Amino acid sequence: MVTQTISGLTLLVGVLQASSADDWPRLNWNAARPADVGMHATQLEKAKNYALNGSGSGYVIRHGKLVMSWGDAHRRYDLKSTTKSIGVTSLELAIADGKMRLADRAIQRHSSLAVPPEANRQAGWSERITIEHLATRTAGFEKPGGYGKLTFEPGARWAYSDAGPNWLAYTPDVTAWR
């Protein structure tokens, strides 16, 4: 998954909704000058230069036209926690499309939920974890990255953990919303 920021995701979703199926996505975009699509070249250049501080890559697409690009778009980046913003957007779209609800038991959508580690089976809590628990860090997982141990009962409290969002990211209805 690739992402920028939550505001960038809002823009991306807006582009997806405003473009026709023929416009999105493309390997070779038709190009347009910023002025031709109602954008300011100077502001875009500033944004590009700012983005290049992070050694990344990106595209600016407007009305199905490539307005600006930078970096290597085929390079894979280790985005770490920034992927969570696209995950929550995918979750929102899956819910909006009626493919899932926050109250759904996560194990119904992901049969191997919480394993590894194997010790989580004995806790007896994995069957009670909901999609909402995974999304809100209330599923009961410990902090370490990956797929940690369940350390408390789902919904009992909040604890920062990567495990809930990691399991959510591999839930089929979230990852294949379109």
pLDDT digits (tens, 9 = 90+) for 1-12: 233 333 333 334
Q: Looking at the domain assignment, is residue 1 inside a domain? A: no
Query: Which residue matches tokens 């875009």?
Result: 44
pLDDT digits (tens, 9 = 90+) for 118-168: 889 888 899 999 999 999 999 999 987 777 899 999 999 999 988 888 888
**Which of 49, 70, 91 is at the close of a domain?**
70
What does pLDDT average to over the chain? 80
Q: How confident is the model at residue 32 (pLDDT cuts 50, 70, 90)?
A: very high
Are 59 and 104 members of one domain? no
Task: Answer positive or negative: Cα dihedral of 92, 96, 98, 104.
Answer: positive
Q: What is the pTM of this model?
A: 0.61
Q: Looking at the domain assignment, is residue 95 inside a domain? A: yes
Nearest to 16 by CA among 110, 105, 93: 93
Number of domains in the chain: 2
pLDDT at residue 25, rounded to an integer: 59
In terms of residue numbers, what domain contains 163?
A: 80-175
- Beta-bridged to residue 31, according to DSSP, are 66
**Which amino acid type is present at position 32?**
A
Are 97 and 62 members of one domain? no
Are 96 and 167 members of one domain? yes
